[in-house]
Chains A and B, each alone.
Chain A
Amino acid sequence: AQSVTQLGSHVSVSEGALVLLRCNYSSSVPPYLFWYVQYPNQGLQLLLKYTSAATLVKGINGFEAEFKKSETSFHLTKPSAHMSDAAEYFCAVSDRSRGATNKLIFGTGTLLAVQP
């Protein structure tokens, strides 16, 4: 069965510092991978997706993620944190081997705090 692990339920960085949010997946076949962000009292907003076209994926708001098959990882990074980046971030996978499905399996989320 597929699963997603997000290391660190809380991450705190200073404004302007590097943001690194970790995500590891478990799957026999490299899945579709996604990062979503959730602001308080809102739904999820797609940051970026990996669908095998390129291992380095650029998303919105300056975020990017690198797919590393050997490490089964898909970590999210941003070179310089902004106060507006404070939110909860979710890594998710969709099973590529089970045909056409959009079912997402989510990690437990990482709450990012940005200190001034």
Chain B
Amino acid sequence: KAGVTQTPRYLIKTRGQQVTLSCSPISGHRSVSWYQQTPGQGLQFLFEYFSETQRNKGNFPGRFSGRQFSNSRSEMNVSTLELGDSALYLCASSPGPGGQPQHFGDGTRLSIL
């Protein structure tokens, strides 16, 4: 069974641009969550989606948005990029909500110049 796939693996952008990251969950998994990992702030929760509905949102500005499609694939978008958005963005999937173990992808490394 294929794992969680995140594309692209690496991305370089400049301040002010926008970026879209993609996540394909494990087949059959309907819940997708996103996390930001930085050396200073550690791992922080961004969003959680289940059946195309956002169930939970972390404490991030409105520049961060996401969505989930009917095939459970998910995207997150960051607009007006700032230097502080440089991070590893991790996607995780699970069969459903409710404290289930999540399976993580290898992440997208976003660097802002």
Contacts and interface: CB of A to CB of B under 8 A. Distances in A.
- Do A and B truly interact? yes
B56 A106 contact: no
B45 interface: yes
Counting chain B CB atoms within 10 Å of each CB, the highest count among A45, A100, A105 belongs to A100
Nearest to B4: A43
B101 A46 contact: yes
Interface string B17-54: 00000000000000101010000001111001000000
Contacts of A77: none
Given A34-B101, A43-B4, A96-B99, A103 B48 contact: yes
Contact of B98 (A42, A46, A102, A107): A102
A25 interface: no
Interface SS of B by simple majority = strand
A76 to B, nearest CB: 15
B94 A102 contact: yes
A42 B106 contact: yes
Interface residues of B, number: 27
Interface size class of A (residues with CB under 8 A): 20 to 34
A6 B17 CA distance: 36
A32 B42 contact: no
Nearest to A49: B101
B66 interface: no
B58 to A, nearest CB: 8
B21 to A, nearest CB: 13
Given A106-B42, A108-B42, A41 B106 contact: yes
A83 interface: no
A44 B104 contact: yes
B103 interface: yes
B78 to A, nearest CB: 19
A109 B42 CA distance: 8
Interface in B68-113: 90, 92, 94, 96-107
A94 interface: yes
A80 to B, nearest CB: 25
Counting chain A CB atoms within 10 Å of each CB, the highest count among B33, B43, B99 belongs to B99
Interface of B: 4, 31, 33, 35, 42-45, 48, 55-56, 58, 90, 92, 94, 96-107
